[in-house]
Structure 1
Amino acid sequence: MPRPTVVRADAVLIQAVIAGALSFAHLHDLAAAAGQTGWKAWAYPISVDLLLVAAWHRLRSGAAKASAWCWFLVALVASLGANVATAGLLDLTDVPAWLRILVAGWPAVAFLGGTLLAHGTRTPPAGPEAAAPTAKTEPATTSTTPESPTAPVPDPAQPAAPAPTPVPVPPALVALAHKVADEHRTRTGAAIDTSTLCARLGVPMPLAEAIAAQLT
């Protein structure tokens, strides 16, 4: 519902304008009563309000918060003090000397505060580029592949190793192996491997390999 939001924003803006105008008038009246006549009386409220806004802006930016809080409180005390002083607690026709001194010295204070806020140390914004660490370049290392050892050349003078003697397989064990292999294929859909056949028959691996050779 956009309409209530617009009405609320307008009400806040009107309230801010009224409050600012009243504070501006009080500061002007106090400066004029303290002997600052003409355009100088109008410059005082502008100076106080600008210092207040500059300090608040620095607080919102997150940089130099201690200095920003200090000058924000100085400007707030100046504005609030002028509003209270013009509320009938002070005779504006007979302003005391200490108040005249404060009003006359305000431009120097405001100039110092504005300069420090404008040219103070700023904290760089934290973003993806600032947070990302700089990649360190490492020297390229040349990987050397170790040479494969040369296979020993058989000596023709030496007799060849005798071929392994085939393991005898009983026919009954072969028949049992066929049944186990068929049941495994029916259950899994794949041919039985030697390790499974060895475990199912409970025979040594060499005998299982000999039986598997006869199943193919």
Structure 2
Amino acid sequence: MTRIRIDAVLVQAAIAGALSFAHLHDLAEASGQDGWKAWAYPVSVDLLLVAAWRRMRTTSDNRAAWAWFVIALAASLGANIATAGLLDLNEVPAWLRILVAGWPALAFLGGTLLVHSPTTAPTESEPARAAAPPVAPDPERVPDVTVERAPDPAPELPPAPAPVAAPAPAAVPVTAPDVSVPPALLDHARKLADTHQATTGKRIDSATLRARLGVPAPLADAITAQLA
């Protein structure tokens, strides 16, 4: 069986709330607010007090909440002190009647400001992110050129002397040996040939192309033939 535990703090709060409620009712009734209006005044004061307290617990900027909490607390304490024999409830002064009559508008203003204001506490500002340095564009990749070096040709034997001097034969166009030229090397050689022709005004010859590329003579001859 569950045992009921009585909390002394809750009991004290209930007693204090009941007494404050009664004092506010008595003061409102003495100020000319009869009937249900006299009972509504303590409810209004206590609700504003609770709303201001909750506002202070849910926001970091609680200056406005503190102001309305002090106003509601002053109304509650003022009613308690006024009904303690220090004020003649049969002859309530005019300024007090004005305060009691104007309380509903003041409570409505406070409740509206407390409800319709941001209630979430602002989060801590995140550290500013360091701006990333601009990334430089990748340099243009130069195509890898693989130069296939042909094997050095075997040394040629000196030609045998001709028995009789024969007339020089007609010039026959030189045909390049059957040597495979890589496309990349051919493109590179074509650029060198264009540069040479633009500089000297003459087509590049096999010897110059061989010196520029550093390739064997047959390969240089084959490239020269394809550039012709």
TM-score by length of 2: 0.55
Aligned equivalents of 2:97 and 2:22: distance in 1?
A: 18
One-letter code aligned to 1:43: A
CA drift of 1:148 comes to 6.2
CA drift of 1:79 comes to 0.5
CA drift of 1:147 comes to 6.2
**Equivalent residue number for residue 207 of structure 1:** none
- CA RMSD for the aligned pairs? 3.6
1:100 aligns with 2:72: no
TM-score by length of 1: 0.58
CA drift of 1:156 comes to 2.6
1:73 aligns with 2:70: yes
Deviation per CA, 1:156-213: give whole Å up to 9, x if none: 3389xxxxxxxxxxxxxxxxxxxxxxxxxxxxxxxxxxxxxxxxxxxxxxxxxxxxxx
User: Which protein is bigger by CA-based radius of gyration?
Assistant: 2
Sequence identity (%)? 63
CA drift of 1:153 comes to 2.2
**Equivalent residue number for residue 153 of structure 1:** 148
CA drift of 1:122 comes to 3.6
Aligned equivalents of 1:97 and 1:70: distance in 2?
A: 25
| Higher fraction of helix | 1
Gapped runs of 5+ residues in structure 1? 134-141, 160-216
Gapped runs of 5+ residues in structure 2? 129-136, 155-228
1:136-151 aligned within 5 A:
146=141, 149-151=144-146
CA drift of 1:106 comes to 0.5
Q: Choose the corresponding residue for 1:43, options 40, 65, 80.
A: 40
Aligned equivalents of 1:55 and 1:114: distance in 2?
A: 8
| SS of 2:7 mapped into structure 1 | helix
CA drift of 1:46 comes to 0.3
| SS of 1:95 mapped into structure 2 | coil
Matched pairs, number: 148
CA gap 1:154/1:51 in 2 versus in 1, 3 angstroms: same
